[in-house]
Structure 1
Amino acid sequence: MSRTLPPNPLTDAQTDGAPLPLVAARDRFSDWLFQKALPFWATTGCDGTPHDLALLGAQESLTLEGEPALPPFKRVRVQARQLFAFSWAALQGWEEGVSRAHGIFRFMLRARREDGGWVRTLTREGAVKDNTADLYDLAFVVFALAWYGRLEGSGRAETLARETLVWIQKNMATPDGGFLNSLPDDGAARQQNPHMHLLEAVLALYVTTKHEPDLALAHTLYRLFRTRFFDPVTGTLGEFFTKDWQLAPGEAGQWVEPGHHFEWVWLLGEYSRLTGVDTSEPAMRLASFATRFGMVPETGRVRDGLRRDGTVLRGGSRLWVQGEALRGVLSQDKQDSRGMAVRLADNLLDHYFTGCPVGTWVDQLDAAGAPAVTKIPTSSLYHIITAYDALDQAAKLAIKAALPKR
């Protein structure tokens, strides 16, 4: 299976006889993604028959040997992430992605509830296993439908996405702002994470539809970020809160994640691009904290968890954190003037995409840089693709800047 894209004469852009660093990193990443990863996940990573490899959607996870792990459930969030992944790949010209996206979409429809919500998990065969509506899952359903709509073209996916957003706002909104983590309410601490992904989903839907009302919820979620999630004193992003959006007591209220800081940096840039709202100040402060305290100078890897004062609480480095750091860094510095993005991309290629079956990944490194994994999670492909997409866009800008002016 190969990427069926027309040749691009700009990919040979060079400076003083050497490839531009961003372009070289992008080309390495592109080769791994389109020649190794996507073909693997379109075959072994799908669950079906020889005639329809995505009949039963995507695999939940793989063993460390690269075989389907076959747990007795499939999370809807994983199906949605893979629907995004194959829709994105198909839109890039990777033809095998088309049938996989269609197949996963059909399978994912089994998770839609009669009342317009979506369940949390299915069995491997597609029966409902857990009828709970989970905000994190619902955010990814909307996100995936927004992307699938660009591929499918009939408008059905966008309609489903809008109906899902209406259902969330009708059934999960809370008096103090934001939404429940799940319905029925599990009583757990309120979380910023699903709201972050809901904002990402709403922005993706607007990019698909160009329909101004689709941005309404984005403004609400941005206000929630400014008034609840973001701490202007420390420049940090909270993770866990009480029901009235006060910091959760104890260590939970002090826990911050550099990966989510970088993810919000990118989101704030995208929200600003689409709305004209100036988000530069909080984005800069989030990036500064995550870079100063989260990035290990010796390795360039980004740590998983810190206290608000920068103390390291979890020194390991998940793959997804590196991917979000890559697109967050490029959101702040599109020319990668300090070489941080190239270093992050090289880290992914040299330390996370090696030492594992071809086309897969090591999802976690410990503080010493050794693998600390028991499985290969399918869900990481979403972070890999969004990181690559940011790198690809930056590389194209670098090429344009290097071309002779006419």
Structure 2
Amino acid sequence: MQTVRDRFQRWLFEQALPFWASTGCDGTLSHPAMRGAQESLTLAGVPALPPFKRVRVQARQLFVFSWASLQGWKQAEACAAGIFDFLLKARTPDGGWVCRLTPEGSVLDATADLYDLAFVVFALAWYGRLDKSGHAVALARETLCWIQAHMGAPTGGFFNTLPKKDAPRQQNPHMHLLEAVLALYETTRDTADLAMAHDLYALFSTRFQDAETGILGEFFTENWQPATGEAGNWVEPGHHFEWVWLLHEYTRWSGVQTAHQSQRLYAFALQHGVNVHTAFAYDGIGRDGTVLKASSRLWVQGEALRGVLTVNPQDTADHLAARMADTLLTRYFTGCPEGTWLDQLDAAGQPAVTAIPTSSLYHIVTAFDALDQAASRL
């Protein structure tokens, strides 16, 4: 595992981060007054320049460069500062955040989206480890207060979006909100910042994870019952693995034991959601384990790696973690411009892509971080 970790580190710090700090940002390293991160690239590795910037992408890149700076990569801090300044353009006067800006930073879509807000809090929590003024942490706390005041649903949890309180309800934004709250607590070590985590964990325990099967649902009715039809049957192995890591983090910071719930998620995802011959994790399966979408997004592979390393930090599961990490390097990080990636492979393992989404770098960094920590313990 040490060998594949070293290869991953070289690719990330020598190819990917320099590329995304230059081509992947609106400015240059010599001119840090950047207007934000690129939304996406063409397959040729040049900015696609769509007429919008999603707040979730800006937040993810703020996390990436905050993390890289904390790892000692000196160029990252200027990138993080520039993206932070651009991200502030999305903040509303009452303390919320819009979901889309123009490339110049004007409001394009003022919808409040829980998924975006979760990543804003997550990014601010990480940037708060660089920002000694306390501004980023204060904004993260204010955003959580705004979510509680404006997006809380009578049946528990939060609405997906405002002003439209749309259905079906979804577990995914709540999962990332828990990730954000835990990141904020890790930054501040203030027990008040952990309060929402307990409520989100309770929602997972009573609504998201099926008590009989241990399977994680994705879509629900207004009253948190499984959605009808295809949506109710849809299961994502990537989110199962993501929750495995997340429950471990919640236990680490709260002391609440979650091993039984985590193991049930892991066992189902590993048995039904991973091709044992290729080590690819599938994009979607049914509640009975039937493969519904045999393609394999990059983010799913990153979360599978992180989940496997959480359960088997010594990589004892038939060296599955090393195989998954090698798959990222040899199948997803090749056949594309240096420092970029193929975002999806089809059922036959062939590229099925039309763009290079910036948002994937968040998953790549979190996967490497898990691999790096596991390798350091060997």
Amino acid at match of 2:261: P
Q: Deviations 1:70-112 (Å, cap 9, x if unpaired)?
A: 0000000000000000000000000000000000000000000
Alpha-carbon separation, structure 2, partners of 1:318 and 1:276: 33
Code of the residue aligned with 2:93 in structure 1: it is E
Instruction: Supply the distance in 2 between the matched residues of 1:262 and 1:232 (Cα, whole angstroms).
Output: 18
Does the Cα contact within 8 Å between 1:365 and 1:372 map onto a contact in 2? Answer: yes
Q: Report how far residue 49 of structure 1 moved.
A: 5.9
Change (3 A) 1:240 1:66: same
Partner of 1:326: 305
Opposite residue 292 of structure 1, the aligned amino acid is Q
CA contact (8 A) 2:21 2:28 kept: no
- Give 1:234 deviation, angstroms: 1.7
Cα contact 1:43–1:53 (8 A) shared by 2: no
Gaps of 5+ in 2: none
Which letter maps to 2:203? L
CA 1:247–1:48: 2 relative to 1, 3 Å: same
Which moved further from structure 2: 227-236 or 83-92?
A: 227-236
Distance in 2 (CA, whole Å) between partners of 1:380 and 1:51 is 25
Following superposition, the deviation at residue 50 of structure 1 comes to: 7.2
Query: Which residue among 11, 33, 36 is the counterpart of 2:15?
Result: 36
* Counterpart amino acid of residue 345 in structure 2: L
Contact 1:73/1:124, CA 8 A, preserved across alignment:
yes
- Alpha carbons 1:79, 1:108 under 8 Å: kept: yes
Counterpart mapping for 1:80-95 below 5 A: 80-95=59-74
Q: Identify the residue that residue 268 of structure 2 maps to in structure 1.
A: 289
Q: Which amino acid aligns with 1:282?
A: Q
Give the distance between the partners of 2:362 and 2:211, measured in 1 at CA. Answer: 30
Q: How does 1:70-149 map to 2 (within 5 A)?
A: 70-149=49-128
Specify which of 197, 214, 232 is matched with residue 253 of structure 1: 232
- Does 2:328 align with 1:348? yes
**Identity within the alignment, %:** 68
Q: RMSD of aligned C-alpha atoms? A: 0.9
Q: What is the letter of the counterpart of residue 148 of structure 2? A: Q
Look up the SS of the partner of 1:268 in the other structure: helix
Find runs of 4+ consecutive structure 1 residues off by over 6 angstroms: none
The superposition leaves residues 210-241 of structure 1 with CA deviations (integer Å, 9 ceiling, x where unpaired) of 00010000000000000000012222100000
Checking the alignment, whether the CA contact within 8 Å between 1:52 and 1:103 is kept in structure 2 is no
Change (3 A) 1:54 1:298: farther
Partner amino acid for 2:15? K
The residue aligned with 1:7 is none
> Counterpart of 1:359?
339
Which amino acid counterpart does residue 388 of structure 1 have in structure 2?
Answer: F
Match of 2:193 among 199, 214, 221: 214
* 1:2-401 aligned within 5 A: 22-48=1-27, 51-53=30-32, 55-338=34-317, 339-398=319-378
Equivalenced residue count is: 377
1:36 and 1:48 mapped to 2: Cα distance? 18
- Aligned pair in 2 of structure 1 residues 50, 24: CA closer, same or farther (>3 Å)? closer
The answer to whether the 8 Å contact 1:304/1:314 transfers is yes
* Contact in 2 for aligned 1:46/1:54 (Cα 8 Å): no
Q: Secondary structure at the match of 1:154?
A: coil
> Secondary structure, in 3 states, of the residue corresponding to 2:17?
helix
**Superposition deviation, residue 23 in structure 1:** 1.0
Shift in Å, 1:367: 0.5
Distance 1:240 1:89, change over 3 A: same
> Displacement of 1:53 after TM fit?
4.9
**Which deviates the most, 53-62 or 192-201?**
53-62
Aligned-partner Cα distance in 2 for 1:288–1:295? 11
Bigger Rg, which one: 1
* Partner secondary structure for residue 129 of structure 2: helix
SS in 1 for 2:212: coil
Contact 2:29 2:78 in 1 (8 A): no
Q: What TM-score does the superposition give when structure 2 sets the normalisation length? A: 0.99
Rounded Cα–Cα distance in structure 2 between residues aligned with 1:133 and 1:227: 26
1:48 to partner: Cα distance: 2.8
Whether the 8 Å CA contact 1:237–1:286 is kept in 2: the answer is yes
Structure 1, residues 227-284: CA drift from partner, whole Å, max 9, x if none?
A: 0000122221000001110111101001000000000000000000111111000100
